[in-house]
Homo-oligomer: A and B are copies of this chain.
Amino acid sequence: MLKLTKKADYGLIALKHLAVIEHGASASAKEIAETYGIPLPLLSKILQKLARTGFLQSEHGTNGGYRLARAASTINTLEVIRSIDGPIILTHCFTDHLNCGLSGKCTVREPLRKVHEGILQILANTTIQDLCVEPAESDACRNGERLHNVAISRAILSAV
C-alpha cells in the first residue's frame, strides 16, 4: 500500500527530536517515548538499530541516552528507513528475478524502476534537517532549509 512502517515513523520522529534539542545534547529512549507516546521497548529497538548503523551514539548508565553521531543535514531519510525496515522494494521483481513470471514476462519491471528510483531520490534528498523546518517556526533547527530537490509544482489533488 506504499506506506512507511510505524517503526520508520518512530525513527524519524526520534531523530528529529534529537536534531531539534540543543546541539550535542542527548535524550534517553524513555524521554523520547514519553514525549511522543511511543511504546518504550519498541522505540528502544529502533534506536538500537540506528545506533548500530551509525546515525546515533549511545551512552549507557544513568543520564545516558542517545545523541546524533552525525549532523542532521547529513542524515537522509532513505538511509534511515533502510536502516530500520530493510531495503525498499517498490515491486517484487527487483529482487527475485527468477520467480517473476519467468522468461522476462514481467514487462513493467524496467519501466517501474524509474519510478522506484525517483522515489528513492526524493527520500535520499530529504534530510533529518529538512524535517525540522516548520512552516511557521523556521528556525527550530539551525540554518533551516527547504526541501531542495523535491520540486512540487502543484499540490496533488486529493492527496490521501
Contacts and interface: CB of A to CB of B under 8 A. Distances in A.
Nearest to A153: B121
Contacts of A102: 37
Contact of A1 (B88, B110, B112): B88
B2 A119 contact: yes
Given A6-B92, A37-B102, A115 B126 contact: yes
A108 B9 contact: yes
A2 B88 contact: yes
A88 B157 CA distance: 13
A107 B150 CA distance: 19
Interface in A114-134: 114-124, 126, 130-134
Interface size class, chain A = 35 or more
A68 interface: no
A51 interface: no
A118 B160 contact: no
Contacts of A124: 156
Interface stretch (A41-49, A52-60, A79-87): A79-87
Nearest to A1: B85
A111 B78 CA distance: 15
A91 B12 CA distance: 11
Contacts of A116: 159
Given A12-B112, A95-B160, A111-B147, 15 more contacts: A2-B3, A2-B119, A3-B89, A4-B90, A4-B92, A12-B108, A13-B107, A17-B107, A94-B160, A108-B131, A111-B131, A111-B133, A115-B122, A117-B150, A117-B155
